[in-house]
Chains A and B, each alone.
Chain A
Amino acid sequence: MSDADAPQPGAPPDGPRVVSTGGDRSDGIVRCERCGASEASLNVATGMLRCGFCRYEWRTENALVTFDLDGAIGELSGVVVGSGTADVTADPSVTLRCTACGADVVIDTTAGVQARCHWCRHTLSLTEQVPNGAVPDMLLPFRVPKADAVTRVAEFVGKRTFFAHPRFRAEFTPENVMGVYLPYMVVDVNAHARVAGEGEHQTRSYTVQVRNSEGETRSERRYDADVYDVRRAFDVHVDDLTVESSAERLDRDTERTSNNVINTILPFDVENGVRYDPRYLQGFTSERRDVDVDALRGAVHQQVGDIARWRADETIDHYDRGVRWDSTDVDVHGERWVSAYLPVWLYSYLEEKKDGSTLLHYVAVNGRTGETMGSIPLNKGRLALVAGVVEAFALVAAVVLWVLM
């Protein structure tokens, strides 16, 4: 265990082990290593930061390797957290002092983590980890360029235009896609799982003649099976389980939101995440984390149970008729939490319904893999009309079939 991994002073003995990912950087001007300019941004083509003045490019360290957050999962014990996962307690507004001219500049971290000094025009960045959820442990830079995202959104919507709402079709402008860093927790879990239930193995299959109430006979298949009590116990190591850490994104009620399409474009190659640097956010927007580790732990453990059952499926080939699991128990021995900003291209459209309610539709593109998913507002009148015509033709076909049977 390195010094960085040492328990924090004042932390309870059974509390989480906090790995500091903030370093010694302070807020204010973050300068180019070569020319000292304060403006740099991500070059999506190379994945490196590029100075806005001298064009010097450099790569920042891999976050998980640098902070030793990628150690063997089997050796995980207790709770290990990156310092960027601290409970959200502070005000989202932060005052930065410009180190060039001394002016105070207020940043609302719900909207971004950079601002320009209104006196000397230097770019100021929020780098220090204050517990307001705005500065994560790591960040995965965009790899899919905007032009590619625009093409993917246009193709996705282009395949779904006939039943799309007419106003959506008229207003659709794929160039309005926005690059957003969304907040997630990336979790490694070392657990022991036990699943128990009942399985059936077919021993015989045969045909019987069955007589119905009208005296007619027909052939039916019958099956015999052996029944087993099935139990599996194993260690399960879950690597980089990724969950949303924004209350808004965790709402998956499809009557209210289309957040499920953003969830669908997971997973990301989080193992390539870099140490957080606000300059990666230049030209993009970011969403502040507002959910803590404790609030997400139950959902994460439930997902570990899902993964355990899925893996247990590999061991039940003998049960060709299926297995009914009656219980799943997961004992978590160790877990490691890292907060991350992950890149998503988002096209959004607010549908205003006749009853006055609204529904925000998204088309989301994974900023690393390009996986695309979306929600398109429907022209329900047209759809109902066409479905009615389909039903009418099908009814005629059904009558013909009924006569012939």
Chain B
Amino acid sequence: MTGAVVLAADVLASSGGGDGSGKAILLALLLAGPLFYGWVHLRYRNTDKRHHHESETRSQMLDVQAQDTHIGSRTGLTSARMKGANSRKVRAP
């Protein structure tokens, strides 16, 4: 159920403007029942909650060394976000 909520949220987030937003609303309406079930389930059971150690723990970053090398270009990309971006994911490699 939680997966359905996340999947629907991803689909809605990835749809662009214009015709895409109409389809996103249609999809949201078709999934309204499962989405409502999932939302209530999470609100009552809070199975998705955890301590955000990555941001709530005091830490200091020192002596930062950055190395950025241009390795190419990509054109005609359809998404506004980089595919596979994971810098805000906790369990990234």
Cβ–Cβ < 8 Å partners of B34 in chain A: 387, 391
Cβ–Cβ < 8 Å partners of A163 in chain B: 40, 44
Cβ–Cβ < 8 Å partners of B79 in chain A: 223
Q: Evaluate contact between B30 and A229: CB separation under 8 angstroms.
A: no
Interface positions of A (Cβ within 8 A of B): 73-74, 160, 163-164, 197-200, 203, 205, 218-242, 252, 254, 258, 260-261, 263-267, 303, 306-316, 318-319, 321-328, 373-378, 383-384, 386-388, 390-395, 397-398, 401-402, 405
Q: Evaluate contact between A376 and B45: CB separation under 8 angstroms.
A: yes
Q: Identify the closest chain A residue to B20 (Cβ).
A: A220
Q: Evaluate contact between B41 and A224: CB separation under 8 angstroms.
A: no
Of A224, A241, A375, A386, which contacts B73 at CB under 8 A? A224
Q: Identify the closest chain B residue to A318 (Cβ).
A: B68
Q: Given A221-B80, A325-B92, A395-B29, A306–B53 Cβ distance below 8 Å?
A: yes
User: In the assembly, what is the distance between CA of A254 and CA of B47, in Å?
Assistant: 6
Tally the A-B contacts, defined by beta carbons under 8 Å.
232
B-side interface size class: 35 or more
Q: Rank and list the top 9 A-B pairs by shortest CB-CB distance, nearest first.
A: A391-B33, A322-B85, A394-B32, A322-B82, A398-B29, A266-B51, A254-B47, A239-B58, A387-B37
Q: Which of A160, A197, A238, A309 has the most CB of B within 10 A?
A: A309
Q: Given A390-B32, A401-B25, A401-B26, A222–B82 Cβ distance below 8 Å?
A: no
Q: Evaluate contact between B73 and A310: CB separation under 8 angstroms.
A: no
User: In the assembly, what is the distance between CA of A330 and CA of B75, in Å?
Assistant: 35
A-contact 0/1 string along B57-79, CB 8 Å cutoff: 11111111111111111111111
Cβ–Cβ < 8 Å partners of B68 in chain A: 199, 228-231, 318
B13 is an interface residue with CB less than 8 A from chain A: no
Q: Given A386-B36, A394-B29, A316–B87 Cβ distance below 8 Å?
A: yes
How far, in Å, is A372 (CB) from chain B's closest CB?
11
Q: Identify the closest chain A residue to B69 (Cβ).
A: A229
Q: Evaluate contact between A325 and B51: CB separation under 8 angstroms.
A: no
Cβ–Cβ < 8 Å partners of A308 in chain B: 61
